[in-house]
Amino acid sequence: MNRNNLILLTILMLASLALSACAQKPAAAAKIAPVKVEAIQGSKIKRLTLISDAAKRLDIKTTAVREEPFARTRKIGGEVVSMPTASAAADANQILVRVSLSPSDMQQIVRAEPAMVLRFTNPNLKPTGPAAAPALGITAKFVQTPAVADADPETELYFLVDQPNHGLATGQAVFVQVALAGNGKLSKAVPFSAVVYDKDGNAWTYTNPESLVYIRAPINVDYFEGDLAILTEGPAAGTMIVTVGASELYGAEVGVGK
């Protein structure tokens, strides 16, 4: 084999090896979407399935729907007023507390249950002496509008304190804690952070029926108590719901940010 033919053969062999290496190079891995969004037949709600890395990035956290009796109360600003002088029962142990409410709020008060009169106090000072009022509040009961000057039965409620050493004085500003309709009723509750609202103001929460799967469920919030949303409608007690990452799931479902 002459020199020129040897050079040509070497070039062809090198080219063949290069082509072979290119052919054996693995194809680039297909991009995996962080969330799979699937339509649910007969519903506008969609089923979301996250990959584990996406769930970790969102720091998804869940808890179970609670169901228990909740104390539904409200603190209302009030004023201590003296007993009517014409009242034969008036004595040093009795005094009235008046609160003012809107007509709609008046309908929410459960008048059959006792109220609690709470004084404005300095937490650094401890009551001393026989005339000191109880530190945790003073029990009072609702009374029909007494013969108090300028009393308005449409917007005012009166509560009678009847105990010795109550420590209250006429004109004193106080809080009155009253029971509201539904007090003690068995109710479902979810953390405030589990509630998301759509553009129409409807409330939802995301259920977690199985690992990495999330489905939006409608709820009806009755009221908020601390960091809880008390519901009149919602998922069954014990249902796992999302408490961290719910807004991000909603964005993925409806396409916010696309």
The predicted pLDDT at position 165 comes to: 84
Where do the structural domains in the chain lie, given as residue ranges? Answer: 35-70+185-254, 73-179
Between 14 and 65, the higher pLDDT residue: 65
The predicted pLDDT at position 125 comes to: 42
Q: Tens digits of per-residue pLDDT, 183-198?
A: 888 999 999 999 999 9
What whole-number distance in Å separates Cα of residue 175 and Cα of residue 225?
18
The stretch 195-205 carries a mean pLDDT of: 96
**pTM for the full predicted model:** 0.64
What whole-number distance in Å separates Cα of residue 166 and Cα of residue 122?
17
Fold of 73-179: Elongation Factor Tu (Ef-tu); domain 3 (2.40.30)
Residues in the chain: 258
Between 31 and 103, the higher pLDDT residue: 103
What whole-number distance in Å separates Cα of residue 162 and Cα of residue 139?
8
Backbone angles phi, psi at 4, to 5 degrees: -65, -40
Helices (H), 25-124: 52-58, 103-106
Between 185 and 231, the higher pLDDT residue: 231
Q: How many Cβ atoms sit within 10 Å of the Cβ of residue 181?
A: 10
Asked if 96 and 81 count as a contact pair (C-beta separation under 8 A), the reply is yes
Binned at pLDDT 50, 70 and 90, residue 6 comes out as very low
Between 44 and 90, the higher pLDDT residue: 44
Q: Which CATH number fits domain 35-70+185-254: 1.20.810.10, 3.40.50.920, 2.40.420.20, 3.90.1150.10?
A: 2.40.420.20
Of the ranges 1-15, 26-40, 120-134, 226-240, the best mean pLDDT one: 226-240
Of the ranges 21-30, 49-58, 237-246, the best mean pLDDT one: 237-246
Between 17 and 61, the higher pLDDT residue: 61
Radius of gyration of the chain from Cα atoms? 35
The predicted pLDDT at position 129 comes to: 41
Half-sphere exposure at residue 227, Cβ-oriented, CA atoms within 13 angstroms: 4
The predicted pLDDT at position 12 comes to: 47
Instruction: Write the CB contacts of 186 (distance below 8 Å, at least 6 apart in sequence).
Output: 67, 68, 69
Domains 35-70+185-254 and 73-179 share a fold: no
The stretch 70-77 carries a mean pLDDT of: 88
Asked if 133 and 165 count as a contact pair (C-beta separation under 8 A), the reply is yes
Q: Tens digits of per-residue pLDDT, 82-135?
A: 887 655 455 778 899 999 998 888 888 999 999 999 987 544 444 444 444 444
The predicted pLDDT at position 198 comes to: 94
